[in-house]
Chain A
Amino acid sequence: MFSFCTDPSTLPDWQWMACYLTTTKHMSLYTSVFTVLFLLAVTAPAALAFGFAGASAARSQIAPLAWVGKGYIAIVRGVPDIAFFLFFVIALDQGIEYLRHSALCPDWSEPVRQGNDFVVCQAAKMPLGNAPQWMHEAYGFTLAVVTFAIVFGAFAANVLYGAMRAVPRAQLETAEAYGMSPRQIFWRVLVPQMWVYALPGLSNLWMVLIKATPLLFLLGVEDLVYWARELGGIKTPRFTDYPHGDWRMWYFLALLVFYLAFTRVSELALDRLMLRLTHGQATTAGEAQRKAAA
């Protein structure tokens, strides 16, 4: 990176450090920070959407829809995350490829399952075998988002389901008295009022989601923890210009600070959100706010 970096072994400490921290490999670490942030930015709304759909389905008057919603919540919450990530992602990937295979290669005569192998025609590969590596990573990333959204969506669904039932019956009854239809009651009274009950549960989920991102590596996306482990490991002079001992502790310490700072900022943001949601609500906190203002 810097002009003086040509022979690191002769450099004084601070210059060595400056060169070391700006190797191309370290740049991968810094980019992976953004991968993680981007994952969170996409996954959180997606999971919330899944949760909302699940909760709405679970409290539906139509029995089969309610079964689907409740089944989704119960099954996904019951399966260990890591099993879900190992099994479901491979199943999803193979499912997509199988569908494409059926559509694109109808003349294919060989079976798709050959012993242990899963073989589809080259045209059905997702992404195509000759696609550049970034496409493969983007695909893995998308699978990750979908999987995270389904897993965290189930937990969010349970939280929202509870929140919807926590809205005081009197509020809904008043709406009924005004002659609102069930649909209007749901969208105009229930949904706006439930967030205040849902937020503590949802904020828990958000915190857990932040810390769950290292599961990304299971999907072949190189995340922050992977690079910290890789960079922190013992490096001998034969294989690098920057030999060092076992520095994993320092790297993980930096990760700890990063995650702690990140969750702290989230906490502050969530507190402010809570304050706004409480405003004008028929809850103790809402009442306290009203009194303080008066």
Chain B
Amino acid sequence: MKNILLTTVAVTLTATLAMADGHSVVRMGTEGAYPPWNFINDAGEVDGFERELGDELCARAELTCEWVTNEWDSIIPNLVSGNYDTIIAGMSITAERDEVIDFTQGYTLPDPSAYAATSADVDVEGGTIATQTNTIHASFVAEQGWDLLEFATPEETIAAVKNGEADAVLADKSYLADVVGQDSELVFLEREELLGGGVGMGVRESDTELKAKFDAAIDSMKADGSLNALITKWEIGDTF
């Protein structure tokens, strides 16, 4: 009798442990300030390319997902300490970031980064370039040794160019396209840079199971063309 009881306890314990192991809810961390990738819509909800993509990936991987916004600056530390389980925020896969977190395979191709300025004949090498902090663009400008002005949000980089604080802004072309299209003051420069290894979803290095699930889901979306359809719909860049 005692044995049966003990076994039952052991079984229940293992069962709860096994359940505890997987994610009952996957919390998706994003920035919410980078249209068309991710932004907050009029209803105050996360919207954009990555919202649609993330929801579809979760459906395919049979996960329940919840969206959380976090400031770009502290987006990696908060993932690592477990406040959410993925970063899906237009984050390019770089070797530097890969040392701290893991990435799923890319869900976009490397997108050329573009410069926007108030006139087309700005010399970027001699000028001051505005970028968002902790981005591939910021590290690129720093590596070149040009004058760099960093801002916490993408929004502020645009404002800096418009008020003359910076000569040009370097960012993903997909983000700048809409801003430049709407604003008669801003133009694209001819020069573009090919940075980063495409955008992927960030997960904790210890979270291999979740990474595998999302990798498989991205594979299936690549295979049936639904990923390309989303990329085209949100004007993200080249399709696979």
| Residues of chain A at the chain B interface (Cβ within 8 Å) | 23-25, 27-28, 86, 90, 93-94, 97, 105, 107, 114-123, 125, 129-130, 133, 136, 217-218, 220, 222, 229-230, 233-234, 236-243, 246, 248
Contact = CB atoms under 8 A, between A and B. Distances in A.
A86 B44 contact: no
A25 B42 contact: yes
Contacts, number: 116
B179 A129 contact: no
B42 A234 contact: no
Contacts of A236: 35, 178-179, 181-182
A241 B42 contact: yes
Contacts of A23: 42-44
Contact of A220 (B43, B70, B101): B70
B81 A118 contact: yes
Contact of A117 (B69, B80, B153, B155): B80
A240 B182 CA distance: 13
B59 interface: no
Contacts of B74: 86, 218
Given A94-B81, A220-B68, A234 B155 contact: yes
22 contacts: A24-B42, A24-B43, A28-B44, A94-B81, A114-B205, A116-B101, A116-B205, A117-B82, A117-B204, A117-B205, A118-B80, A123-B16, A129-B25, A130-B64, A220-B68, A229-B155, A234-B179, A234-B182, A236-B178, A239-B35, A239-B36, A243-B182
A238 B206 contact: no
Given A118-B80, A121-B20, A236-B178, 16 more contacts: A93-B83, A94-B81, A105-B17, A118-B82, A121-B17, A121-B21, A122-B22, A125-B82, A129-B24, A229-B155, A234-B179, A236-B179, A238-B35, A239-B35, A239-B48, A242-B42
Contact of B205 (A28, A115, A238): A115
Contacts of A218: 71, 74
Given A218-B71, A220-B70, A117 B206 contact: yes
Interface of B: 13, 16-17, 19-25, 27, 32-33, 35-36, 39-44, 47-48, 64, 66, 68-71, 74, 77-78, 80-83, 85, 100-101, 153, 155, 158-159, 162, 178-179, 181-183, 204-207
A24 B159 contact: no
